Amino acid sequence: MRHIISALAIVLLACAGSGPPHAFDAWLGSPGVVTLTNLHPDEARSRLFAVNYQQDGLIPLCSAVALLDRNAERLVFSVAATGRTYEYYYHKAAGEPFPEHLMRYFGTECPRAELAGLAEIDRQGVTQGKALVGMSKPGVVLALGYPPRHVTPSLDADRWLYWLNRFNRMAVVFRDGRVTAIEN
């Protein structure tokens, strides 16, 4: 009997720590979810990371996706246009809880109006999935995603750092809200 009570206590503690479901979880398995920025996966491994490595792949802005599964450290999703499945891994360096982080990259409404209101150089950068000299800060966010908060705590900064991989970074330098240089 004592073993049953101990096991039940462990189960109840585990459930209590998980908390209520997040609003993001309502989108799991639901149609109509899209990417809110370009995503840059490691195509060979079908992975993305919350520190937003700028890998070789490109999942374009407004891509329809199916959110298949999420736990505290990983989201599994597939891209409708390709049928390809990816794993998106959380890292504490994201500087925010995983569900809030994911809501910056996935949503139910494509930001087409925001994209249409940007300059031609911004739209080119978004299409290419790159930062280009002359782009605005909102254009860079749509093209590259958000810079990791642990190296760029504020979007008001004039220098945004992105990781290319675990060891190399890229800096996007702004003056008066426009890209003046991309430093590798």
Question: Does residue 70 sit in the same domain as residue 143?
Answer: no
Does the global pTM surpass 0.85? yes
**Cβ atoms of 172 and 182 closer than 8 Å:** yes
Same domain for 63 and 126, yes or no, is no
Question: 82: Cβ–Cβ under 8 A, 6 or more apart, which residues?
Answer: none
Q: Are residues 41 and 84 in the same domain?
A: yes
Listed as own residue / partner, the contacts of 65-74 with beta carbons closer than 8 Å and 24 or more positions apart are 65/33, 65/34, 65/35, 65/106, 66/29, 66/31, 66/33, 67/27, 67/28, 67/29, 67/30, 67/33, 67/106, 68/28, 68/29, 69/28, 70/24, 70/25, 70/28, 70/98, 70/99, 70/102, 72/98, 73/98
Distance CA 67, CA 78 (A): 7
CATH number at residue 161: 3.30.1450
122 and 71 within one domain: no
Model pLDDT for residues 79-116, shown as the tens digit of each residue: 999 999 999 999 888 889 999 999 999 999 999 999 99
58 and 94 housed in the same domain: yes
User: Do residue 34 and residue 77 come from a single domain?
Assistant: yes
Whether residue 101 is found in the same domain as residue 116:
no
Does a structural domain hold residue 75? yes
The mean pLDDT value for 141-158 works out to 95
75: domain range?
21-107
Q: Is 15 contained in some domain?
A: no
CATH number of the domain enclosing 74: 2.30.30
Average pLDDT over residues 44-68: 96
147 bridge partner residues: none
